[in-house]
Amino acid sequence: MAENGKNCDQRRVAMNKEQYNGNFTDPSSVNEKKRRDREERQNIVLWRQPLITLQYFSLETLVILKEWTSKLWHRQSIVVSFLLLLAVLTATYYIEGAHQQYVQRIEKQFLLYAYWIGLGILSSVGLGTGLHTFLLYLGPHIASVTLAAYECNSVNFPEPPYPDQIICPDEEGTEGTISLWSIISKVRIEACMWGIGTAIGELPPYFMARAARLSGAEPDDEEYQEFEEMLEHAETAQDFASRAKLAVQNLVQKVGFFGILACASIPNPLFDLAGITCGHFLVPFWTFFGATLIGKAIIKMHIQKIFVIVTFSKHIVEQMVAFIGAVPGIGPSLQKPFQEYLEAQRQKLHHRSEMGTPQGENWLSWMFEKLVVVMVCYFILSIINSMAQSYAKRIQQRLDPKEKTK
């Protein structure tokens, strides 16, 4: 059945590539025009055409707002129900009473969950280049908890200020009582919420491909068009990237739930292709999302947690600092800022940040903060470029009637 479906898809792709508005066109000329249009859109970036890029970005934003306004207008009952629920929650939040202690507890948990789920969605949803929130937020958080746990011999950090700030409890544990499992348990909520967010972020490619398959029209998405071209040229694929994509597609299509689970359980830059494949071959939603959720929020998340915890465990960190100091010539000068940073962190954990070493900012902290700012700025710029290019494609489709069936 899977083989017959694949053959039918290849024939349909071939027909779509040749037929436009009832007329047959040379496929090579169509592909050549697509290539030229794609290259023209890729030149619309802020550092090459800033004014046009900003103009197209603004217009694309207006188009999206108009589309969403129209969708909400046709779903007035849902909008009204949401507004009524929001009014009830707002009244409950501001009215004084015995329920406020529960409201505050729910608010704290909700904001914690929403923060990490939001970061997970940003990591995988496909906006611009994607924001690597594990490297920028979750990974450093797990590393901080690991370092603090070994220093304090406890994971019972006072709340508040945890998780905003980590300080040792007044009664510290005895040395050697910290285990890998205790640290995993301490960061489980943050890590699982982030994993759930990454699973949610994988849904747009699935829904886009599913809607395209059911409607019979090609969506305005280059990844989906590349997927169909890959199906069309599956027999002649030679390069490693194409063979890797085909391997993911075949695994998901033939193995089903466990194939999706395998792709979601390991760091896999091609997982978007799994979502497109599942949507294209009409894999049931809960099969796709269930496997993705288990793989990303449980299996993959524990692999990443264990890696970070082991890497930043006390003896490993001490060995890395000693190794840096052993580098001939520049070792001692490189080792000093690491030692100063670790000592400053220890003093903060023991409430001694105002004493001892001067409070000048460590250059490691300064560099990491600037790295976060640069990556966030680049993420925002990539969204602007992507939306501007989307509007440029709208213009190309209007100018050439043959592009309307894309």
Collapsed DSSP state (helix, strand, coil) of residue 396: helix
Tell me the pLDDT band of 173, cut-offs 50, 70 and 90: low
What's the pLDDT at 362? 64
Q: Which two tokens stand for residue 127?
A: 């906006």
Collapsed DSSP state (helix, strand, coil) of residue 20: strand
Q: Name residue 79's amino acid.
A: V
What's the pLDDT at 158? 81
Asked whether the beta carbons of 128 and 386 are under 8 A apart, the reply is yes
What's the pLDDT at 1? 40
Collapsed DSSP state (helix, strand, coil) of residue 221: coil
- Other beta carbons less than 10 A from residue 396's beta carbon: 18
Mean of pLDDT values over 33-59: 86
pLDDT of 206 above 90: no
pLDDT of 168 above 60: yes
Between CA 270 and CA 272 the distance in angstroms is 5
What b/e sequence results for 69-80 when a residue is b if at least 16 CB atoms lie within 10 Å of its CB, and e otherwise?
Answer: eeeeeeeeeeee
Tell me the pLDDT band of 127, cut-offs 50, 70 and 90: low
Length of the chain: 406
What's the pLDDT at 151? 85
Tell me the pLDDT band of 13, cut-offs 50, 70 and 90: very low
Q: Which residue has the higher pLDDT, 53 or 347?
A: 53
Which DSSP string corresponds to 339-371? Answer: HHHHHHHHHHHTT-TTSSS--PPPHHHHHHHHH
Asked whether the beta carbons of 228 and 254 are under 8 A apart, the reply is no
What's the pLDDT at 210? 82
pLDDT of 341 above 90: no
Q: Find which of 56-65, 152-161, 241-250, 318-327 is predicted with most confidence, using mean pLDDT.
A: 56-65
What's the pLDDT at 227? 59
pLDDT of 101 above 80: yes
Between CA 127 and CA 121 the distance in angstroms is 10
pLDDT of 19 above 60: no
What's the pLDDT at 83? 93
What's the pLDDT at 179? 84
Asked whether the beta carbons of 301 and 188 are under 8 A apart, the reply is no
Q: Which residue has the higher pLDDT, 384 or 176?
A: 384
Q: Which residue has the higher pLDDT, 350 or 398?
A: 398
pLDDT of 399 above 90: no
pLDDT of 340 above 90: no
Q: Which residue has the higher pLDDT, 86 or 133?
A: 86
Asked whether the beta carbons of 272 and 205 are under 8 A apart, the reply is yes
Cα-based distances in Å from 371 to 366, 367, 375: 9, 6, 6
What's the pLDDT at 342? 78
Question: How much is the pTM?
Answer: 0.74
Could you tell me the end-to-end alpha-carbon distance of the chain, in angstroms, rounded to an integer? Answer: 27
Task: Please return the burial class of 199, using the count of CB atoms within 10 Å of its CB with bins 0-12, 13-18 and 19+.
Answer: buried
Collapsed DSSP state (helix, strand, coil) of residue 406: coil
With tokens 């599956």, the residue in question is 234
Q: Find which of 95-99, 116-120, 310-314 is predicted with most confidence, using mean pLDDT.
A: 116-120
Tally DSSP H helices, then E strands, for the chain. Answer: 19, 2
pLDDT of 226 above 70: no
Q: What does pLDDT average to over the chain?
A: 78
pLDDT of 21 above 70: no
Tell me the pLDDT band of 218, cut-offs 50, 70 and 90: low
Q: In the 3-class helix/strand/coil scheme, how is 119-166 assigned residue by residue?
A: HHHHHHCCCCCCCCHHHHHHHHHHHHHHHHHHHHCCCCCCCCCCCCCC
What's the pLDDT at 4? 46
Between CA 281 and CA 84 the distance in angstroms is 39
Tell me the pLDDT band of 272, cut-offs 50, 70 and 90: low
Asked whether the beta carbons of 388 and 44 are under 8 A apart, the reply is yes
Between CA 142 and CA 45 the distance in angstroms is 36
pLDDT of 194 above 90: yes
Tell me the pLDDT band of 380, cut-offs 50, 70 and 90: confident
Tell me the pLDDT band of 161, cut-offs 50, 70 and 90: confident
What's the pLDDT at 270? 65
Among 267, 117, 138, 253, residue whose Cα is nearest residue 194: 117
pLDDT of 3 above 60: no
Mean of pLDDT values over 291-316: 89
Query: Which residues neighbour 56 within 8 Å (Cβ) at sequence distance 6 or greater?
Result: 44, 387, 388, 389, 391, 392
Query: Which residues neighbour 220 within 8 Å (Cβ) at sequence distance 6 or greater?
Result: 390, 393, 394, 397, 406
Mean of pLDDT values over 67-91: 91
